[in-house]
């Protein structure tokens, strides 16, 4: 039973940061395929460039998908990472083929929308998208990036299940996602004037999941697991078993233990309404300008504490039902918090190690207000492109697990836009 739950979770996880102030924050793009730009009344829609999964490390920066991205002082790219990223490409292609093998249209069982092509590589099952406001505390120790004392931004929120299965049953053990797009932020995008993986030029995205820590310590291990799952194991259960056994055989009992702990934490999150639980960035992000800027992790938590409510046992989509019902009648609110990297023992390259809340408690720096409303149009929600790499330099994603997310989200976005023609 334990392994069964484990393997479901493994399936999800597998599939599954103003103007730059210093020169070292400036990301440059080499000549290459230019993104196609389509004007709309309010935004400039940028067609993402296909990802090639090539990573070249040079000095204290790396080049990926044509972008030269400077490293923060806390980052160190392991020698094996570029190879791991490259081989993840083949694995992701195999994964998409497996997921959408029929090639025919698929109907989303909750929304009724019909798709000709692929959906998000993970997190395709949406509970709904909603509008809100991000209100930055009027009192802050210091202004950093979008977090300027008293600033207020329009946001769009998308709540989801992590599982790659669109049929995803809310009664299954899963990670729940909280994705937030902050609109009209000041400054320049980390990836240049034309954000490669955004459908808005000036927005700042945050992606959080419902538990810590991450199951994989680095890109190599993440690739190893994806290989087992997509290409070798006959079943999901078998993939989970093989992954743990492989870690133990390779002489990594501590990592195997952390993996087991990560799964058990996912299993322990009791969720009856996506508005009633906390979410974590899991991985770290830069908090300021330059290679020696502060580093933080994010958390959002319900303003009046976590809660549970009743559910209809025969409703496969009770999270969606309860969320929509709640916001039809009542507003909601989350505290937006940061956990500072108060000393160097708090790992940047390894998100399977949790940062102790005793050593560094989360502190509220902003509030997410969600007024009474109906959910956004389902197709507009589907088309949203939310990625940790859609960021201004001050909130740059850090560490190996974040680095591999750059080509992977890009590939997922590219596939779904190309195959569904939007
Ligand atoms: C480390 C912690 C991670 C967190 C907190 C996280 C969170 C999320 C969330 C909330 C979404 C849904 C975004 C939306 O609603 O549009 C998402 C999408 C996605 N995630 Fe992650 N994720 C993590 C790691 C990873 C990793 C390591 C990979 C693979 C290398 C990955 C691959 C994806 C993909 C492919 C999508 C769909 C992108 C799209 O087509 O829009 N994630 N993630």
Residues 193-231 pLDDT 10s? 545 566 666 889 999 999 999 988 999 999 998 888 777
SS3 content of the chain, % helix, strand, coil (to 5): 30, 20, 50
Closest ligand 1 atom to Cα of 280: 5
Contacts with 90 (C-beta within 8 Å, 6 or more apart), sequence order: none
Closest ligand 1 atom to Cα of 216: 27
Q: Is 386 in the pocket of ligand 1 (CB under 6 A)?
A: yes
State the distance from the centre of ligand 1 to the C-alpha of 36, rounded, in angstroms. 24
pLDDT at 410: 87
Q: Is 385 in the pocket of ligand 1 (CB under 6 A)?
A: yes
Angle at 230 between CA 227 and CA 236, to 5 degrees: 110
Cα–Cα distance measured from residue 231 to residue 247, given in angstroms and rounded to the nearest whole number: 18
Checking if the pLDDT of 139 tops 90, the result is yes
pLDDT at 47: 53
When pLDDT is averaged across residues 310-315 and rounded to a whole number, the result is 88
Q: Is 157 in the pocket of ligand 1 (CB under 6 A)?
A: no
Q: Is 160 in the pocket of ligand 1 (CB under 6 A)?
A: yes
For ligand 1, atom 42: residue with the closest CA: 16
> What is the tally of helices (H) and strands (E) in the chain?
8, 17
Q: Is 317 in the pocket of ligand 1 (CB under 6 A)?
A: no
State the distance from the centre of ligand 1 to the C-alpha of 141, rounded, in angstroms. 31
- Pairing label, strands 285-287, 294-302: antiparallel
Residue reference for tokens 């935004």: 43
Cα–Cα distance measured from residue 152 to residue 336, given in angstroms and rounded to the nearest whole number: 13
Q: Is 197 in the pocket of ligand 1 (CB under 6 A)?
A: no
For ligand 1, atom 8: residue with the closest CA: 207
For ligand 1, atom 25: residue with the closest CA: 16
Asked if 199 contacts 385 with a C-beta cutoff of 8 angstroms, the reply is yes
Checking if the pLDDT of 7 tops 70, the result is no
Angle at 94 between CA 267 and CA 166, to 5 degrees: 45
DSSP labels for 7-27?
HHHHHHHHH------SGGG--
When pLDDT is averaged across residues 326-352 and rounded to a whole number, the result is 97
* DSSP letter, residue 232: I
Cα–Cα distance measured from residue 148 to residue 110, given in angstroms and rounded to the nearest whole number: 39
Cα–Cα distance measured from residue 306 to residue 313, given in angstroms and rounded to the nearest whole number: 21
Closest C-alpha to 127, from 325, 266, 265, 298: 325
Q: Is 220 in the pocket of ligand 1 (CB under 6 A)?
A: no
Cα–Cα distance measured from residue 98 to residue 227, given in angstroms and rounded to the nearest whole number: 13
State the distance from the centre of ligand 1 to the C-alpha of 203, rounded, in angstroms. 17
Most ligand 1 atoms within 8 A of CB, residue of 55, 155, 207, 265 to mutate: 207
pLDDT-above-70 percentage for the chain:
84
When pLDDT is averaged across residues 121-132 and rounded to a whole number, the result is 94
Closest C-alpha to 397, from 182, 194, 190, 199: 190
Checking if the pLDDT of 39 tops 70, the result is no
pLDDT at 41: 28
Helix or strand holding residue 126 (H, E): strand 126-136
Residue 48, helix vs strand vs coil: coil
Closest ligand 1 atom to Cα of 159: 15
Residue reference for tokens 């190879």: 83
Cα–Cα distance measured from residue 278 to residue 41, given in angstroms and rounded to the nearest whole number: 36
Closest ligand 1 atom to Cα of 415: 40
Angle at 117 between CA 114 and CA 123, to 5 degrees: 80
State the distance from the centre of ligand 1 to the C-alpha of 16, rounded, in angstroms. 6
Contacts with 54 (C-beta within 8 Å, 6 or more apart), sequence order: 63, 64, 65, 82, 86
Q: Is 402 in the pocket of ligand 1 (CB under 6 A)?
A: no
For ligand 1, atom 31: residue with the closest CA: 16
Q: Is 390 in the pocket of ligand 1 (CB under 6 A)?
A: no
Pick 229 or 138 by higher pLDDT.
138
Q: Is 416 in the pocket of ligand 1 (CB under 6 A)?
A: yes
Contacts with 257 (C-beta within 8 Å, 6 or more apart), sequence order: none
pLDDT at 396: 97
Q: Is 122 in the pocket of ligand 1 (CB under 6 A)?
A: yes
- Whole-model pTM: value is 0.90
CATH of domain 2-420: 2.40.180.10
Closest ligand 1 atom to Cα of 412: 40
- Tally the C-alpha atoms within 13 A of residue 358's C-alpha that lie toward its C-beta: 0
- Dihedral angle at the C-alpha atoms of 137, 198, 123, 64, nearest 10 degrees? -110
State the distance from the centre of ligand 1 to the C-alpha of 139, rounded, in angstroms. 32
Cα–Cα distance measured from residue 194 to residue 130, given in angstroms and rounded to the nearest whole number: 25
pLDDT at 334: 99
DSSP labels for 300-369?
EEETT--------TT-TTHHHHHHHHHHHH--EEEEEEEEE--STTS-SS-TTSPPPTTTS--EEEEEEE
Per-residue pLDDT tens digits for 349-364: 999 999 999 999 999 9
Residue 264, helix vs strand vs coil: helix
Cα–Cα distance measured from residue 387 to residue 405, given in angstroms and rounded to the nearest whole number: 8
β-bridge mates for residue 45, sequence order? 38
State the distance from the centre of ligand 1 to the C-alpha of 58, rounded, in angstroms. 27
Helix or strand holding residue 285 (H, E): strand 285-287
Asked if 182 contacts 58 with a C-beta cutoff of 8 angstroms, the reply is no
For ligand 1, atom 20: residue with the closest CA: 16
pLDDT at 226: 82
């Amino acid at each position: 039973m334990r392994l069964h739950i484990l393997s479901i979770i493994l399936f999800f996880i597998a599939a599954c940061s103003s103007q730059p102030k210093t020169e070292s924050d400036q990301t440059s793009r080499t000549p290459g395929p230019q993104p196609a730009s389509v004007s709309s009344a309010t935004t400039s829609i940028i067609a993402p460039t296909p990802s090639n999964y090539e990573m070249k490390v040079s000095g204290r920066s790396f080049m990926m998908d044509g972008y030269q991205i400077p490293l923060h002082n806390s980052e160190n790219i392991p020698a094996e990472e570029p190879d791991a990223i490259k081989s993840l490409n083949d694995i992701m292609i195999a994964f998409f083929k497996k997921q959408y093998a029929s090639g025919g249209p698929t109907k989303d069982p909750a929304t009724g929308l019909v798709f000709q092509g692929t959906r998000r590589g993970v997190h395709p099952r949406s509970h709904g998208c909603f509008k809100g406001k991000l209100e930055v505390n009027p009192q802050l120790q210091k202004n950093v990036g979008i977090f300027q004392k008293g600033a207020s931004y329009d946001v769009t929120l998308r709540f989801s299940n992590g599982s790659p299965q669109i049929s995803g049953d809310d009664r299954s053990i899963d990670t729940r996602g909280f994705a937030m797009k902050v609109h009209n932020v000041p400054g320049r995008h980390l990836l240049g004037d034309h954000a490669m993986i955004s459908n808005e030029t000036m927005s700042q995205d945050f992606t959080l999941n419902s538990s810590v820590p991450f199951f994989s310590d680095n890109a190599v291990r993440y690739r190893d697991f994806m290989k087992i799952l997509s290409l070798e194991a006959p079943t999901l259960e078998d993939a989970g078993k093989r992954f743990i056994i492989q870690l133990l055989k390779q002489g990594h009992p501590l990592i195997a233990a952390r993996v087991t702990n990560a799964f058990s934490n996912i299993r322990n999150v009791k969720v009856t309404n996506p508005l009633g639980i906390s979410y974590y960035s899991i991985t770290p992000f830069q908090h300021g300008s330059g290679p020696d800027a502060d580093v933080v992790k994010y958390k959002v938590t319900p303003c009046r504490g976590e809660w549970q409510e009743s559910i209809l046992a025969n409703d496969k989509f009770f999270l969606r039902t309860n969320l929509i019902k709640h916001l039809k009648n009542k507003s909601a609110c989350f505290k937006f918090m940061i956990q500072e990297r108060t000393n160097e023992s708090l790992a940047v390259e390894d998100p399977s190690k949790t940062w102790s809340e005793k050593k560094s408690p989360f502190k509220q720096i902003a509030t997410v207000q969600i007024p009474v409303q109906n959910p956004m149009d389902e197709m507009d929600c589907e088309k949203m492109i939310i990625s940790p790499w859609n960021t201004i330099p001050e909130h740059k994603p850090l560490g190996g697990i974040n680095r591999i997310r750059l080509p992977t989200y890009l590939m997922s976005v590219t596939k779904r836009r190309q195959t569904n023609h939007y």
